[in-house]
Structure 1
Amino acid sequence: MDKTNTIQFKKKPIAVLISLTLGFPIPIVTAQEIEEEVETLRLETITVEAQKRKQSMQTVPVSVSAFSGKQLNQAVIKDIFDVAGLVPASSAFQTQNVTNTSFSIRGIGTSSQNFGLDPSVGLYVDGIYRARQSSMVNNLVDIEAVEVLRGPQGTLFGKNTPSGAILIRTVAPSHQAGDNFIEGTIGNYGLVNYSAAASVSAIDNVLAFRLTGFGSQRDGFVSEVNTGDDVLNDRDRWGGRLQALYTPNDDVTLRIIADYAEINEICCAAPVQVSNAQAIGIEGKFGTDSLLSQAPFNATIFDGSDFFDYKVALSFLPESRVEDSGLSAQLDWDINNQFTLVSISAYRSFDSFDNIDSDFTDAHLFGTRNDSQQHSFSQEIRMDYTGDKVTAILGAYYFRQNLDLDYSLYTGEQFNDFFLTGFAQGAFNGLLAGIDALNSASNGLIAPSAPPAPAFSSFDHRAEQKHESYAIFGQIDYQLSDELTLTTGLRYTDESKDLSTIFSENLPDDAAFPSFFSSVGDPNSPASIVPGTLLYGAGLAGNVLTGIQAGTIDITTPSGQAALAALTPFQTLGWGFNPLGAITAGRSNISDTLNDDQITGTLKLSYTPNRDTLIYVSYGTGYKSGGTNTDRITEGFEPIFAAEKSRAFEIGIKKDFPEQDLRINAAVHTTNVDDIQANTFTGTGFNLQNAGDYKTSGLEVELTWLPTDTIEVGVVYARVNAEYDNFMRGNCWIAYTWHTGITDPGQESSDPNAPNPYCNRSGDRPTGEPEDYAMVKVKKDFTISDNIDAYLVAEYSYTGDVVLDGSNDPFAVQESYSLLNVRFFMNFAKYNMDLVFWGRNVLDEEYINHVNFNTPLQEGKFNAYISDPATFGVTLRKRF
C-alpha cells in the first residue's frame, strides 16, 4: 500500500507528454497515478523506489535516472548495455565472452574477469541481488521500470556497494486486461527478436498468474577467415518467467517468481589493434607476428590498420554459454496504516562455460576453458514505517553464496614449435641438436632432448569460495520543518569467505612437472642470465657439450658423469613451461579465510523552498568485501586482497519550471575509495590487487525542455575526473616499450637492464572510463490520422577519449567518438499496436569497446574488443 504523497504540479489543460526517453528521467507510475496526472501535467511526476518506497523522483535526495517499461519498449531498449549507454557517468561492456561483463558508475567499476571479485555496482532484479554481473546481460522483457542509482549504496541495498546500483522491476501479474502483449523485431545481420507476456486471473482479485517468454537470434558481425563471414558476436538467447500473485485481502500480497534463461553465443571478437610483426620505432626488431607468418605456423597476420574490417583469424571459434535461473518470494503485509512488513527470499543459480582461442591467432598455440557454477540464497526482512513527520525502514539481510570454478589453460599442436622459435631467439635449438647428437653417438645411453613445451599439456586450477554476509540496516527521514528533511541511515555488515584454490600442472602421459628454472632470462641483458634462469642453465649445458666435443670432458669418468647432470633438465619433458610465465608455472595451493565487518551509512539534508525545487547535500559510504585472486598468478604476488571502501560527498538540485515546461536535475560529487580492487591483464596473467587510493569527482546534468506542444528537447552531460591517488605497484607499459624502447616513466627500477615488474600508476586514469559524456535528444510529435499518432526522435551522443589499458600505455587510447540513433514511432490506437522503425549508430562510427589487452605471450602486440556497427530494424508490438 502506497502511503506517500507525490508533488502536485500546476495544472494545465494539456495532455501529458508520453515520452522522456533515452537518458532522461521518465515516469514510473502506477495506473492510478497515470489516470490522475494525464489530464493535468506536461512535466510528469516520476515515481521511483530508490529508497525502497514509492516517491516522486523530484523529492528524493539521490542521483537517479529512471526508465519505464513503456519507454524501454518504444525506444527498443533490449538489454542492460542499451540502458547504461543512456545514463550519465555509467558504462557497461563485455570483453572476451558473455560471462565477462563489467559495470561502472562515476568511474568506479569492477572487472568480471576474476570470479573472486564482488561487483562495485549492485545489480538487483525485483529486489533480488544478482551476485554475478553476467546474469544481467540477457534481454530486458516485460519490464516495469529500470532505475540507475549513482553514488555509494551503503545503507538499504543488499550487498552494500561502493559506486551505485541498478534496480530492475518486472511487470507483476494483473487481474485486468491491457498489459498483455506480443512483440516481434527483425533487423540487419539476420536479427529476429520475439517476446510475449500474458496475465491470467485464476481467482478474481485474489490469485493471478503471469507468463513471460522471449528469444533472440542474430548473425554475428565479425568474420573468421577460416570459418566464414559474420560468425562472431552473434545472438542466441531465450528465457521465460512464471509468476503468481496472491492477495487474500487488502493487507497481504505474496508474489512468487520463477525464471530461467540461456545464452549460447560465439563471443567475443578481439581483432589485432597493434601488430608486433616489426617494431614501430626500432628498425630490424621483429616480433611473434613475423614468426607466426612463417612455416610451420603459416598463420594469418593482421597489421592493425585493418582493425575495423571486422575480421579475425582463430584456430577455433569461441564458445560462451550461460544458464541463469532463480526462485523468489516477496511478502508484503500492511499491519496498519503506519507499519508494513516486507520479506524477500530468493535462491539463484548461475552456471557458465566458455572456451576461447586465447592466443587470438589461427596458429594452434593455446586455449583457455572456464567452467563455473554459482549458487546463492538471500533473505531480506524489513519493517517500513510511515508517520506524519517521520518515515523509517529497519531491516536485516542475509546472503550466502557457493562458487565453484574449474579453469584450464591448454597447449595446442604448435606450441612447442612456438616456444623453440619464439623465445630467446631460438637459443635452445643448437643445444637440443647437440644433446640429440650425443644420444646417437652413445647408442642411446645418453637420453635425447625432450620437448620443452609439449602439446596437450594443461595448467588447471579449481577454486571454491563459500561466502556469507549478514547485515542490519535502518534509515529515517525526519521532517525538521516544512522545508527541511534530515535523512540518516546506518548499516552494519559482517562478511566471511572461505577460499580454496588447488593448482595442477598436467603433462602428456602423466609426466612429472619439472621446475628446474624460474625464469627465461634476457639474452640482451647479461645481468639477467643468473643462476636459476633458463638461459643460465642452457649456458652450463652448452659448456658441457663443448667440453665433450673437444675431449676435455670424458663421460666415462665420475667427473664426466657428474658433468652430464647439466643436460638433465633439457632431457625432461616440459622443461620450458615453468620459466615461461605465471600462467604456465607451478605454484602452491591457496587456502584462506577472510573475515571482515564494516559500518556504512548515509547522511542527507534536503531543502524544499517550494514545491518545484529540491536542494540536497549528502554524504555516504559504501563497501565491498575482499577475496582471493582465482587466477594463476606469480607466486610472489599476494593472492588475497582486502575490502574496498568508498566515501562520497554530493550536492544536488532538482528544479522544475512549470511555466516554461523545463526540468533541470544536476549534481556535483566527489568520491574517495580506499584499497580499490584493480584487475589488469599483463600478457601472461591477470594482476588483481588493492591498487591503493582512488578518487573520482564530477558534474552531472539532466535537462528536459518542452518548448512547444509537439517538441521535446533533452540534454544529458556528465564530467568524471577519475584517477589513482596512490597506486605504487601497478602494471607497466609493454607494447609501447617494446616498439619504441622508451621505458615506462613509472618504472620503479633505476637499472634499465634489470627492470622489475611494477610501475607507479599514481595519477593515472582507470580503464574504460571517459572523462566527458554528453547526449542531445530532439523529439517531434505529430498526428498522421485520427487513429495514428507518431513521433520522430534523434539522439546524438558524444563520448570523450577512453584509456583502454590499466597501464595507461600510449597505444591504449580510444579517441573521442560520437553516435547517432534515430527512431520513427507510430501508435495505431484502433488496433492497440505500435510500430517502430529504428537505427543505432546509423553513421557507422568505428571505435574500440572500452578495452584492449596485451596479447598473451606475444609481447608488443595489442588486441581489442570491437564495437557494434550500424544496426537497423523494425519492431511491431500488439497489446491485448
Structure 2
Amino acid sequence: MKKLLPKHTLVALGVSLGIAASCTPSLAYSQDSALEHITVQAQKTSQNLQEVPVAVTALSGDDLIETVVKDVFDLQNYVPAFGAFQNQSVTNSGFSIRGIGTSSQNFGFESSVGLYVDGVYRSRQNALINDLVDIAAIEVLRGPQGTLFGKNTAAGAMTLTSVAPSHTDTDGFVEVLAGNDSLLRVSAGASFSLVDDILAMRISGFKTDGDGYITDATSGQSLNNKNRSAIKAQWLYTPTKSVSVRIIADYGELNERCCGALTWQNNFQANDIPGKFGTDALLSQPTFNATIYSNDDFFDFTTSLSQPPISKMEDKGVSGQIEVALNEQWSLVGITAYRAFDSIDIVDTDFSDADLLTATNDAKQQSFSQELRLHYKSDKIRGLVGAYYFSQNLDLTFNTTTQSAFDSFFSIAGAELLPLANAIDGLSAATGGLIAPSGVAAPSNTVFMHTANQEQDSVAFFAQADWLLSDTITLTTGMRFTDEKKSIAGRYTEQGPGIDGLSGAPESRPNIGAAVTALNDIGVALNTGTAISPTSLNALAPFQQAGWGYFFLGSSAVLPRPDLNEAIDDSQLTGTIKLAYQANKNQLIYASLASGYKAGGTNTDRILPSLDATFEAEKARSAEIGLKQDWPDYGVRVNVAAHYSTIEDFQATTFTGTGFNLQNAGDIHVKGLELETTWLMSANTELQLIASRTLANFDTFKQGTCWVAYSWHTGIDDPGRASPADPYCARDGDRVGFEPQNSLSIMLNHHFLVASYDATISADYQYTGEVYLDDSNDPYKQSGSYEIINARLSLQLEEWDTEIIVWARNLLDEEYIARSGFDVPVQEGKLMAYPGAPRSYGISVRNRF
C-alpha cells in the first residue's frame, strides 16, 4: 500500500494498492503525476502497463499484503472478468477468464487459463492454491495468449513471480496472520549475500493452520480447514553485468479435509409431484437412519458424512533461468524446469452418513519443460523468437468402493428388479438347483478400479515482433506452431465378494426383456417336458452373476468397459496481430486479433463405453479493442476493453449424477466489456472501480447434459431432448455454466495520521451476478447474485519497520454459493453445492528487516 509520509507528503498514490491496483515490484513515479508507472512482463519483456496493447491486470506483492489476499481465490475482487472456484477436493480448483474456464476434476483435462510461476508452466491449477507468500507480482492477461504463452491459454494466462534474491539487507520479513476459526499463518523470507554483488540467496516459507467453516456432525470435525506449508530456496548468480543465473527449488505439502458440499435441493419428496419419494426418504429410515438436510439448512454450514473428505498434496520442483545480454541489441533467455506433483483425495461420494459409496483418487505427475528465447531490440523493431518443449507423465488410480449398506440400499431403491430376481430364485428351487439362483445384486465392499497412464510431449516454435512504424503507431505480429502428442493406457477392473470381474461385453449385460421372455419359455419347457433352450439360459446368466444390479445404476463410475489404449497427435498454428496508436504518453488506443487453443486430451475417468475416450483441441479466436487513458492533472486513469471471441470444439464437462459427460461441446461465443478506473480523489483518498459484462453462450452443443433434478421434481422434461430415449440434450443458445454475466468491484482507500503514525482505512464492495452451477442450465441449478464487503485498517509503525492490519472479509456475512453444484451420485433429484466462505476476520502483523 502506498503510504503518506509525515506532514502529509504523498509519495505515491495510484491504482488502489489496497484495492487490487495494477502494480509490480518495479514501480517508478513520474514527477508531474501521482498515477503509477507500472512495469509488466505481459509480452515477456519489460513494458509500461499503459503502453501494452493487452488487457492485463497486475498486482504487486505489496498489494497482496495490504489487501490480505491469502490465496488466489481472494483475487476475484480485484481482477475484472476473472473467477476462481474450488470443487470436490483441494486438488480440483479452477480459474476462468472472460467466462471461459475449466474444472480440473478430470486429470486428462487441461486448463483454459495458462498458469505460470517464475516462468514455469503448471499443468495442475491446484499448484497455485497455496498461500501467496513472498510474491513479487501477479499478472492476469485476458484473452487468448497462444503466441507467447502457448497451449492452454485459450481464455488467458496468469503469471506469478517470486521475490528474487538480492544483496540488500533490508528485504527480509516475518509475518504472523491470525483470524477466526483458529486461523494462524506464520511466514518469513530473507535474502543473504553469499558473495558480494555476485551470489545471493533467498529463503522463504510459511505454515498455515486453521479450522474450517463447515461442520461434519458425524465426526465432529470441521471441513475446509487449513493445514499447509511450503519452503522455497533461491540463488541468484551474476558473475558479470551481462549474465544472470537464477535457481529456484521449492517444496510444498497440504493435508486438509476438503471440500464440504451441502444440500441445495433434497429429494425426500418431489416438489411438484405428490406421492413421489426419492432416496432421502429411503435413507431416513432404518436400517440407514441417515441425517437428511434441506435447502433451509444450507447456510447452517453443517453436513453429515460417513467419513470426512481427505485431500493430500505434495508439490515440488526445481528450475533454472539464465539471461545473457549478448550485446546492446540481442539477449538470450533460457528456462529449464522439473516438477513433480502427487495427490490423493478420498471422498464420501454419496455425501451422506449412510455407508454407500466412497472414492479414492491417487495421482502422480512428473513434468519437464525447456524454453529458449532470443530477444532483439532496436529503434524500429522489438521482438523475440523462441522454442519450447514440455513433457509430462501421469499415473492415476481411481477407485469407487461400495460400502456396507450399499446392497441394502440397492435392494430397496431397485425394488422394481426384485420380482425378476425372485422369479429366477423360484425357478432354481423348482429345478433343484439345476438352474442357478440369482446373484447378489449389488454386493457391498466391491471396488471398481481404473488405472490410467498418460504420456504427453509438446514442442513449439514462436516469434513475435513490434514494428515501430512511426512515433505514434506500432504494429505487433506474432505466430506460434505447436505439435502435441498424447497417449493413454487404461485398465478397468472390479474386485469384491464373489466378483471376479464383471464383463462389459454386450451379451454379458443383463437384459430385463430377454430375461422375462426366457423365464416364460423355461416355464413352458418344464411344463411340457421339452428341452430348455440354451438361448433362454444365456438370457438368465447375466442375472446369475454377482453384481448384476450395478448395470442398472446407469453409472459410468461402476459400469465395466474394455481396456483403454488411445493416442492423439495434433498440431496447431496460433498467432496475433495488434495495431496500437499512442498519440501521447497518456493515451493508447489499440485493436487486436488473437488466437489460442487448449490441447485435446484423453478422458481419464471411468466412462461409458459409448463415449469417446479422446476429445479434440479447443480453438479460440478473439477480437479486441481497447483504450488506456490517463488524465494526470485530475488523477484519473481509465482502461477499457471490448472483446468478442469464438471458441470451436469447446471442451465441456458436467457431472450428471451418474458420471462425467466430457466432450467437445461444439462452438461458443463470448462478448463483453471491461472497465478499470482509478481516481485519486485527493492527496489522501483513492477510489477504484472494476466492472465487467460478459456474455458466454453455446452456439451449438448437440450432446449436452440433460436436466436431472428439475425434471425429477416437476416431471417436465428437458426441452433440448430430441426424443424420450435420447440420453443427451441440445444446449444450443444456453449460457456457459459457472460464470456471472455481470460483476462490479468498488474499492476505496483513505490515508490519515494517528498520533503521527501513517494509517489507512480501506473498504471493498463486490457484486457478482447470478450463475448456473454447471453447463446443463437446469433451472434448479441457478444461483442468485450476491454482494460482499471487505474492510481493513492498517497502521505503519515506522520506527519498528512494522505494519499492523486489522481485516475482515465478507464483513456482512453474505450467504452465497461458490459457483459450483452437482447432482448427487445414485440419488436422482438431489443437488449439492459448495457454499461461499462466511465472514472471516483477524489481524496481520508484519515486520520488515
Q: Percent identity?
A: 47
Q: 1:21 aligns with which of 10, 17, 24?
A: 17
Of 39-48 and 679-688, the range deviating more from structure 2: 39-48
Distance in 1 (alpha carbons) for counterparts of 2:679 and 2:846: 28
Matched, 1:146 2:123: no
Q: Is the 8 A contact 2:795 2:805 kept in 1?
A: yes
Matched, 1:796 2:782: no
Mapping of residues 811-822 of structure 1, within 5 Å: 811-822=780-791
CA 13–432 in structure 1, closer or farther in 2 if over 3 Å, else same: closer
**Aligned residue number for residue 451 of structure 2:** 462
Matches within 5 A, 1:659-808: 659-749=633-723, 754-786=724-756, 788-808=757-777
TM-score under structure 1 length normalisation: 0.93
Is 1:569 the counterpart of 2:561 in the alignment? no
Give the whole-Å Cα distance in 2 for the aligned partners of 1:65 and 1:562.
69
2:223 is aligned with 1:254: no
Q: Report the Cα offset of residue 216 of structure 1.
A: 0.7
Deviations 1:648-679 (A, max 9, x none): 00000000001100000000001110111001
Correspondences of 1:577-592 after superposition (within 5 Å): 577-581=550-554, 582-592=556-566
Structure 2 distance, partners of 1:437, 1:755, is 33
Counterpart CA distance in 1 for 2:71 and 2:268 is 39
**Residues 241-285 of structure 1: CA deviation (Å, up to 9, x unaligned):** 001110111111000000000111100011111111111111111
Task: Tell me which of 821, 844, 856 is aligned to 2:813.
Answer: 844
- Contact 2:504–2:561, Cα closer than 8 Å, also in 1: no
Match of 1:704, as an amino acid?
T
The answer to whether the 8 Å contact 1:821/1:842 transfers is yes
SS at match of 1:830: helix
Distance (Å, rounded) in 1 between the aligned partners of 2:798 and 2:680: 24
Letter in 2 for 1:110: T
Aligned AA for 2:500? A
> Shift of the alpha carbon at 1:785?
2.6
Which amino acid in 2 is paired with 1:536? Answer: G
Task: Tell me the equivalent position of 1:157.
Answer: 149
For 1:648, the equivalent position in structure 2 comes to 622
Distance (Å, rounded) in 2 between the aligned partners of 1:569 and 1:621:
52
Q: What is residue 50 of structure 1 aligned with on the other side?
A: 42
Q: CA-to-partner distance for each residue in 1:61-85, whole Å, 9 max, x for gaps? A: 0100110001111111121111234
- Which amino acid in structure 2 is aligned with residue 574 of structure 1? G
* Equivalent position of 1:403 in the other structure: 394
Alpha-carbon offset, residue 41 of structure 1: 3.8
Letter paired with 1:737 = S
**Residue in 1 that maps onto 2:3:** none
The 1:72–1:564 alpha-carbon spacing in structure 2 relative to 1, beyond 3 Å, is closer
Q: 1:344 is aligned with what amino acid?
A: I
Q: Determine which of 855, 858, 862 is the counterpart of 2:824.
A: 855
CA distance in 1, matches of 2:88, 2:249: 29
Superposed CA deviations along residues 454-500 of structure 1, whole A, max 9, x for unmatched, are 01112211111111111111111111111111111111111111222
Aligned length, in residue pairs:
841
Residue 257 of structure 2: aligned partner: 266
Question: Could you tell me which amino acid in structure 2 is paired with residue 513 of structure 1?
Answer: L
Q: Which residue of 1 aligns with 2:87?
A: 95
| Residues 646 and 671, structure 1, Cα contact 8 Å, conserved in 2 | yes
Aligned to 2:5: none
Matching residue within 51, 54, 71 for 2:63:
71
- The answer on whether the counterparts of 1:518 and 1:578 sit within 8 Å (CA) in structure 2 is no
Q: Which AA in structure 2 matches 1:453?
A: A
Displacement, 1:554?
4.5
Matched, 1:628 2:602: yes
Residues 45-444 of structure 1: pairs in structure 2 closer than 5 A: 45-159=37-151, 161-228=153-220, 231-423=222-414, 426-436=415-425
1:516–1:575 CA contact under 8 A, matched in 2: no
CA distance in 2, matches of 1:22, 1:91: 19
Q: Return 5+ residue gaps in structure 2 as ranges.
A: 1-7
C-alpha contact (below 8 Å) 1:834/1:877 kept by paired residues: yes
Structure 1, unpaired ranges of 5+? 1-11, 520-531
1:639 equivalent in alignment to 2:613: yes
- Report the Cα offset of residue 134 of structure 1: 1.2
CA distance in 2, matches of 1:42, 1:795: 22
- Relative distance call for 1:278 and 1:56 in structure 2 (3 A) is same
Letter in 1 for 2:467: Y
Match of 1:476 in 2: 465
CA RMSD of aligned residues (A): 2.1
| Displacement of 1:569 | 3.5
- In structure 2, distance between residues paired with 1:207 and 1:511: 62
CA contact (8 A) 1:770 1:800 kept: yes
Shift of 1:25: 3.3
Letter matched to residue 629 of structure 2: K
Which deviations, in whole Å up to 9, do the C-alpha atoms of 1:319-376 show, x marking residues without a partner?
1011101100000111111111101000011111101010111111111111111111
Instruction: Give per-residue Cα distances to partners, 1:157-186, cap 9 Å, x unaligned.
Output: 154521100010000111002210000011
Structure 1 segment 27-46 matched on structure 2, within 5 A: 27-30=23-26, 34=28, 37=29, 41-46=33-38
The residue that corresponds to 2:512 in the other structure is 535
Contact conserved, 1:88 with 1:716, CA < 8 A, in 2?
yes
Task: Measure how far apart 1:296 and its partner are.
Answer: 1.6
Contact in 2 for aligned 1:544/1:566 (Cα 8 Å): no
Deviation for aligned residue 1:570: 3.1
What letter corresponds to residue 715 of structure 1 in structure 2? L
| Partner Cα distance (1:18, 1:604) in 2 | 28
Work out whether residues 85 and 92 of structure 1, in 8 Å CA contact, stay in contact via their aligned partners in 2. Answer: no
Q: Equivalents in 1 of 2:291, 2:60: separation in Å?
A: 48
CA distance in 1, matches of 2:44, 2:558: 49
The answer to which structure, 1 or 2, has the higher relative contact order (CA under 8 A, 6+ apart) is 2
The CA distance in 1 between the partners of 2:644 and 2:727, in whole Å, is 32
Deviates more, 1:589-598 or 1:285-294: 589-598
- Asked if 1:502 is matched to 2:475, the reply is no
